[in-house]
Structure 1
Amino acid sequence: MLKVEKLVVRYGAVMAVRELSLEVGQGELVALLGPNGAGKSSTINALTGLVTPASGRIVLDGKDISHVRTED
């Protein structure tokens, strides 16, 4: 299970993702939809470790991966 709790992604003063929360169960398929600048890519970048969230938690199968980078 993937659980995201109050995820915030910032680029300097710009808040790209504001307190996103969601849960995705095993086997579920999810699509992120929205206009340009809505934070879709920033959300995926945080979930995959390409950017570090300013705050919030990303939990995958019970393990907090909020600050795990792709290099790790």
Structure 2
Amino acid sequence: MPTPILVIDKLHIGYGHKVVIRDLSLEIREGEFVALLGASGSGKSSVLRTLAGFHSVMSGRIVLEGRDIT
């Protein structure tokens, strides 16, 4: 199995003291198609903003192509 391009490991995202994403772990490999689905307010946009570097994490890590970008 190929090495993952993106690894999200035990990610916690929050605003102030409110946690919106708790303990998210995900691996995406080359050629995979991934969709984030969920109800309004479930944290989809927060995850995307964090991956883009617009929001910081409370804990956990994000590794892109072997480099920690957290």
TM-score of the aligned structures, taking structure 1 as reference length: 0.88
Deviations 1:37-67 (A, max 9, x none): 111000111111010111100000100001x
Residue in 1 that maps onto 2:19: 15
Structure 1 consecutive aligned stretches of length 4 or more whose deviation exceeds 4 Å: none
Identity of aligned residues (%): 50
Shift of 1:10: 0.8
Matched residue type, 1:20 = L
- Paired with 1:56 and 1:12, the residues of 2 have a C-alpha distance of 17
Deviations 1:5-51 (A, max 9, x none): 00111101211111100000012110000001111000111111010
- Paired with 1:36 and 1:13, the residues of 2 have a C-alpha distance of 20
- Count of aligned pairs: 66
| Root mean square deviation of aligned Cα | 0.6
Question: For 1:59, which of 63, 66, 69 is the aligned residue?
Answer: 63
TM-score of the aligned structures, taking structure 2 as reference length: 0.90
Residue in 1 that maps onto 2:53: 49
